[in-house]
Each structure stands twice: as C-alpha cells, then as structure tokens.
Amino acid sequence: MGMIQFDREHQVFKIDTKNTSYVMGVVSGRYLAHIYYGKYIESTDLGYVLDLDSSSLQDAVFNEGEKVTLLDRLPFEYSFAGTGDFRQSCLAVTSSAGQQGVELVYDSYEIFKGKPGLDGLPATFGDNAETLEVTLRDEVLNIRVVLSYSVFADSDALMRSCRVFNDSTEDVYLDCALSACLELGGGEYQTVALHGSWARERHMERLPVGFGTYLVESRRGISSHQSHPFLALVSPDCTQEHGEAYAMNFVYSGNFFASARKDQFEGHRMVMGIHPDGFRWKLAAGDVFQAPEVVMVYSDAGLDRMTHIFHDLYRNHLIRQRWVYQKRPVLINNWEATYFDFDARKLLSIAKEAAGHGIEMLVMDDGWFGRRDRDDSSLGDWTVNEEKLGCSLKSLVEQVNALGLKFGIWLEPEMISPDSSLYREHPDWALQIQGREGGQARNQYVLDFSRPEALGYICQSVFQVLKSANIEYVKWDMNRPLTDAASTYLPKEQQGEVFHRHVLALYAFQERLLEEFPDLLLENCASGGARFDPGMLYYSPQIWCSDDTDAIERLKIQEGTALIYPLSAIGAHVSDCPNHIVGRNTPFATRSAVAMAGTFGYELDITKISEKEKGQIASQVKTYQENIDLIQQGDYYRIASYQRNNLYDCYEIVSKDQTKAVVVFVQVLAEANMHNRLIRLRGLKPEAVYQAGGNCYRGDALMQAGLPLKRLRGDFQAEVISLVERK
C-alpha cells in the first residue's frame, strides 16, 4: 500500500508518513473537511471526529435552510470567503460582475507517484514521493481549485500548494489565494513565531492562543527582518524533547500572511500564504494561478523532532544537490574591513594574509562598480570601476587565484540608484506611483522587475561581469523593502500583481543565473537576514543570517534560525572588535565558536588584527573543517538558550550514525561562587562509550547525568568539545 489512500466507503483521504497521518473527508458528498493530523494511525474510519451528530451541526448538514450555520462551523480543508464561513478565508474572488463570494465543493481526486514542480516557483523536489490532488469547484463562477499534497518516503513533512483555474469565459480577480489551511480541534495551544528587526532577526517568541486571531505577516515585499514566514502551534507542555508541535513554513520570499485563530467553539484554524494586502490577481478566462508551497510538520517529540524534520527535508529535498553536502570554501569578506574605501592593492593585501592562514576565498563586497564610493549612486550600472581598482577585474581575480584563493563578488541586481546612468536613461524602470515622488531607502529605488526589458538588461549586465573573470561565488544583496509598488508597464487592472510579479521575476533571474553558471556558489542576503526563507534556500545553499556579527547577539539570532534551517545554510562570520553594530568586545575564540554554527568565514581586516589573533585563525579553520560533515549533515540539538536563561548558551550536533558529536558552550555572563555545570546531552547511543578530551563517558550517563563543564572565567567565554565513540 502506498503512502496515500482513499477510503471510498467513508469518503476519506489518508496521507501517511513513517510517523504521521493526515486525514480529510468529504461531508455530504459536497464539502472537503479536515479530520485529523498527528501521530500515525491505522484507521480511516474517522468521520466521527467531525462530530456531525452534535446538536449544533446535525440540522445544518442536511438542511439547506441552515447552510450558513454549517459553513461557519465545518473544519474546512481549504476555506473560502463570502458565503458563510466567517473565519479566515484562503480564497476570496471578485467576479466579472464585481461581486464577492465563493463556495468550493468537492469534485474529484487523483493519486500519483512523484512530486511535480511548481511553475515559476521554488518547491521541494525528489524521488520516491507520492502526491494527492483534490479538485474543488465553484459551480457559479466556474473556477477550479486543485489542492496538492505531497510526501516523501524519507520525511515526515507534508508539502501543500494549490492552483486556481478560471474555466469560465470571463475574467475574475483573486483577492486572496492562500496556500494552506489547518484545522485543529479544541484544547489549549501556544504559538511559536520568530520576530525581530534589522540586526536582531528571528528571535523566538511563545504566546498562549486566546480567542481571536494571532497574525504573523510581512507587507514589505520581502519576508523581512520583522517577521518570518513560519508559525507553529504547540501544546502548553511542549519542550525541546516532549510535547506536540504543528508547524508551517512558507516556501516564498515576498509578502506573507500566517494566522492562528481560536473560534467560538474553541477550534483552531491556522492558515498561510501570500498576504492579501497589496495583492489582486487578474485571472483571465482560461488562465491558472499557482500559489506557493507550504511545508507542514507535526512532531509528538517536542521542538527537537520538529527541527530535525525541517533540517533533513531542506537538505535532501530543497537545497540544490550541487552544494548541499559539498565542502564550501572558508571565505573572508572585505565589507567590515574597508566598506567602500578599497582598491586592488588593499584587497590583495587582505588576500595574501588570508591565504597564509588557511582561508580559501576572498569576496569583494559593495563599491567595485560605476562610481560607487558611497551608498548613494551607481546601482544598475554594473560595469567595473577599473580606475578605482587600479586594474581590470580579470587581472585582480587572476592575482587572487595565484595566491591559492577563490574569488567572489557582491551584487544588488534588484535596485536602481537615482544617481545612475540607468536611471537617467530609464526613470520609468523604477517602481513608482504616478504623480508621487518615489520614496528612497538607502538612497535607492526598486527596479520594476515586471518590465521584461528591465529584467533582461540587468540579467545581461550581471552575466557579462561574471563571464569576464573567474568568479566562483556571488553574494546577492537586497537592501530595502518594496514601496510605491506600482508599475508604468502593467495596465491599471494588474497593479495588484506588482509585489508577486517581483518575486516571480527574482526567482526567474536566479534560475537563469544558475543555469548559466552551474558551478557558482550563490549566497543570498537582504540587509542581512531580511530574506532568509525557504524560497531563497532553493536557489542558494547558504543565506547571510544577519548584518549583526557580534557573537553574543548572534546567539539569539542563530538559535531562532536553526529552529527551522540547517546550520549549513546559516551565513556566519568571525568579525572585528569592538563589533561594528553593538560596540562589544568578545574574545576571538568565542567569535569563532559561534560562527561554527553556520558556514564559517571572516569579516574583518586581517592585516590589522593582532598577531595573537592571526595565530588562532589556522586552528579555527582546521576545527571547522574537521567538523564540516557534522555541521552539514548532523542532527542539531538546542541544549540551553541564552534567550531564556540570560546567562549561557549551548547547542550540540550529533552525526547521523551517533558516533561523533560536538558541543558548543558559550558563557555570556560569569557568576561568582558557583559549582561546575553538568550539561545533559541528547541524541547519543546509550550503550556507547564516548571520549571527550582525556575522559570517557557512557552515552546514557551523558544524557541523564550530564557532561561536566568547568566554570569559565570571565564574560563571553566559549568552549568547543568534541565527542567520539570509542570502538
């Protein structure tokens, strides 16, 4: 029997993974209702869960005179607006007559092997998958909604998306087209979400769900610093190791909407998709709209298990296989070393010093093109400033390569400076509202990527630069939100498509980039971590986590990020002190220990740091490279959270075969007159003996009694401990 089945007798669909079951059914031959999501169960006879015999629903199920009562109470698999369901809708449509209202009824289904891609959108991929497509129809509007559910044999995640078809002869407008809806019954839940701002992204927050709506959103045109396209409902007793968690993560990089609502009957509805604010899609007769993918995860073993499901799914089925498990170069980036004040001589001095300490790549950041000596000019003019560099780009790269280093470059293709040749020639290529002066941020406008000639020109310009020299890495930046989201190219009835069309064009651009340069290592960035999401992860195996490189600030940022994303995706560097964001001084070794929970690199002027610090770099690089398989493939455990205890932080990575582990402990604040700590580890073999330094411990002792750690003297101290099973 496959992973997906349909029980014709009970009109029930059941989707199974190794440890979970997802069940929905057709009510009265008409409506598709959610029945169950949770731990694996055998039975498909679950109609009783809907409680249709209750006094509140019994009359409504078979009585057209109580239709609104039914629509407002059924746990819909995909909710719709305007006809009686007053909770959050997934689909809202305006007809050609200007009227709003949808009623989706069950039509048909198909179960097949494999998982199709999503047209123009990033999505999970892989073999040994099964997909269920359920078709719903509005018989008045003559539109179809095809709900897609996919599972992989090696994962407990469930992937959902939907397509909306206009089978009528008239245009309609989609005012809301979310991707997924999950109904949970009564009981108490808490939300887990990630919030923040520039330089303090993805801090975890946990709140009880009361009556009303809890909302996580971005209307900035990007997934944003302030919110994150992730939402989980967890049981009040949920910890890292125990309790239930229901999570959604959006494979998309633009405006998003995720809400959890507790209704009048104490049921809970969680939805996720493209934000309806600023969205109105003209669906012409015969056209189809593809909504992005949502990844759903259920865990009955706490947040650790949820994290492992996300990490394994994204490593095996989202990140391009070219780079997912390949060792990536340890790089040094010149941004915090020089900002805009550099030339080839300065870059080569950094490269020469770096090469002598085991660093493998030099990345030239912002300031190499046009007349870019400050942040107020030249975006869009992607031509090398040879006068500033003192040589051609090809010559610079050849000199860096001769030192044994690879070479990478910074780009910001989505932007245009008012002070640029491109803007002077094509002012209509910027997003703009007619009659209004455009709003600048970081002295720049956003290019109108819905305009084909603008997108084509920038693609050609960027590709020309990348072909001119041996460039093996690109840092793709995006330093402002989208405002004035109107296009001089699109007709008035399609102005509500600008936000989404920008994201689609971004994806098309990066797809073309990787097709043209298949061996290129791409790292996405957006003022730091403002676009750290699964959509970007599909194109780039690593994403810059935050512009805040302070080791202590990074503890909270990286904890929240690693809740969902594998460590191999988290851009993390050792930077200068005092830190350029918060002014804090931390030991060089501590900065290295924190950066190990990511891609690891350096963001400083290596020619100016002390000889003592230079002397530590080679051993830091060696330690990272010795643990690269663990970092890229191992299971991550959150042992202690500085965000919660305000004193120390600890995480552990365990190899899949449980023969190796590394523990990173960071003491933020020292305490007087305290005993040594015992840190209880997880994920080890109970019967195995592990060597840590000169001591040996049984796995069960480490997990139950703990690993002894001597008190570190002073604030901001770190210790990295390797454990290896003794044979």
CA-CA-CA-CA torsion sign (642, 648, 649, 654): negative
Can you tell me whether residue 8 is helix, strand or coil?
A: coil
Q: How many CA atoms lie within 13 A of 513 on its CB side?
A: 28
Ramachandran category for residue 530: left, alpha or beta (phi over 0 → left; psi -120 to 50 → alpha): alpha
Give backbone dihedrals phi and psi of 297, rounded to 5 degrees, phi first: -135, 135
Can you tell me whether residue 305 is helix, strand or coil?
A: helix
CA-CA-CA-CA torsion sign (454, 457, 459, 465): negative
Q: At what angle do helices 551-562 and 588-595 cross, to 10 degrees?
A: 10
Q: Are 37 and 21 in contact (CB under 8 A)?
A: yes
Can you tell me whether residue 67 is helix, strand or coil?
A: helix
Q: Are 522 and 539 in contact (CB under 8 A)?
A: yes
Q: Are 172 and 308 in contact (CB under 8 A)?
A: no
Neighbouring C-beta atoms of residue 519, cutoff 10 Å: 8
Strands 601-603, 331-333: parallel, antiparallel or unpaired by DSSP? Answer: parallel
Neighbouring C-beta atoms of residue 9, cutoff 10 Å: 7
Give backbone dihedrals phi and psi of 192, rounded to 5 degrees, phi first: -120, 120
CA–CA separation, 153 vs 506, rounded Å?
Answer: 31
CA–CA separation, 173 vs 333, rounded Å?
Answer: 46
CA–CA separation, 257 vs 229, rounded Å?
Answer: 8
CA-CA-CA-CA torsion sign (554, 560, 562, 565): negative
The encoded tokens of residue 71 equal 């629509």
Q: What 8-state DSSP symbol labels residue 242?
A: S
Is the N-terminal amide bond of 427 cis, ω within 30° of 0? no
Q: Are 288 and 236 in contact (CB under 8 A)?
A: no
Q: Are 477 and 411 in contact (CB under 8 A)?
A: yes
CA–CA separation, 359 vs 434, rounded Å?
Answer: 50
For the annotated catalytic residues, the residue numbers are 533, 613
> At CB < 8 A and 24+ separation, what contacts does 399-404 make?
399/344, 399/348, 399/351, 400/347, 400/348, 400/351, 400/362, 401/470, 403/348, 403/351, 403/352, 403/355, 404/355, 404/360
3-state DSSP helix/strand/coil % of the chain, to nearest 5: 25, 30, 45
Q: How many CA atoms lie within 13 A of 529 on its CB side?
A: 34
Map tokens 């830190």 to a residue.
579
Q: Are 490 and 184 in contact (CB under 8 A)?
A: no
Determine the Cα angle at 307 with ends 623 and 330, to 5°: 25
Q: Are 539 and 574 in contact (CB under 8 A)?
A: no
Q: Which residues of 15-34 are buried (b: 16+ CB within 10 A; e: fewer)?
A: bbbeebbbbbbbbeeebbbb
User: Among 443, 334, 428, which residue's Cα sits nearest to residue 379?
Assistant: 443
